[in-house]
Each structure stands twice: as structure tokens, then as C-alpha cells.
């Protein structure tokens, strides 16, 4: 999945992290050995946790009124990703699970960014003092 400018929030740190999440989802599909897939999955899980933590820090610093609901979406996604990784570890048909994880990550990210992150970004950017 190629990154598209339409996915930009206008918050550079968040946009860079989103781009990396898309890159890692693409790397996941390109992997051919189970050990490399496993390391990519572990990186993806860790990076998702870091990204969500950073994004939630932006929410807190700006007193975002929908922060709790947004965090709940993050928790639900993290739980779903964890379940899929566990399925991958137990599965004999790993390529099918890899494609499912890739699709889940890409589809969720696109929908989440376009709907929830952009809504937050509008709020956040409006709260910033004007630049001189």
C-alpha cells in the first residue's frame, strides 16, 4: 500500500509514524521466511504501541475531548493484532494469516486515519498558537 497525501494529518510526527506502519505492513507481505515474518510482526506490535502512546500524549497535551474514545479504538486494534499474531504462531497456513494481518492493519489504519486521526488533527492544529 503506497502512502497517499490524502492520509496526512498535518502533524509531522504522527504522519511519519503512520508512514512507517504502512511500510511495515508491506514488509510483512514481502517476507518469505517465518523467522523474518515473526520479527516483523514483533516490530509492528511494538511500533503500534509506541505510536498509540505518542498519539495519546498529543491528545492529553491538547485536552482532546474525545481522547478516551480514541484510546478505546487503539486498545481494540491492539487486542485484535495480538490475537492475529497468536494465530500466526499456531497456524500451519502462515501465508494466509500474514495476508489477513496485512489487510487488517492497512484497512484499519486507512479508516482510522481518515476518520479519527484527521478529526483530532483538526482540533489539535486549531489549538496551536499562530506562527509569527
Q: Would residue 132 count as lying in a domain?
A: no
How many domains are there within the chain? 1
Residue 105, domain CATH: 1.20.120.50
Is residue 81 in a domain? yes
Task: Report if residue 24 sits inside a domain.
Answer: yes
- Mean pLDDT of all residues belonging to the chain: 88
Q: What is the grid cell recorded at 61?
A: 497535551
pLDDT in tens, 49-98: 999 999 999 999 999 999 999 999 999 999 999 998 899 889 888 888 88
Tell me the pTM: 0.86
Q: Is residue 130 part of a domain?
A: no
Residue 99's domain comprises 12-124
Cα of 110 vs its chain's centroid, Å:
9
Amino acid at each position: 500500500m503506497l502512502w497517499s497525501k490524502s492520509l496526512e494529518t498535518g502533524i509531522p510526527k504522527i504522519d511519519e509514524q503512520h508512514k512507517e506502519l504502512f511500510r511495515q505492513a508491506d514488509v510483512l507481505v514481502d517476507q518469505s521466511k517465518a523467522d523474518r515474518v515473526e520479527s516483523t510482526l514483533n516490530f509492528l506490535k511494538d511500533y503500534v504501541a509506541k505510536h498509540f502512546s505518542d498519539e495519546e500524549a498529543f491528545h492529553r497535551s491538547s485536552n482532546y475531548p474525545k481522547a478516551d474514545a480514541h484510546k478505546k479504538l487503539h486498545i481494540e486494534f491492539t487486542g485484535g493484532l495480538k490475537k492475529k499474531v497468536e494465530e500466526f504462531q499456531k497456524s500451519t497456513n502462515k501465508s494466509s494469516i500474514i495476508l489477513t494481518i496485512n489487510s487488517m492493519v492497512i484497512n484499519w489504519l486507512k479508516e482510522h486515519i481518515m476518520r479519527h486521526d484527521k478529526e483530532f488533527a483538526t482540533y489539535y492544529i486549531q489549538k496551536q498558537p499562530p506562527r509569527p
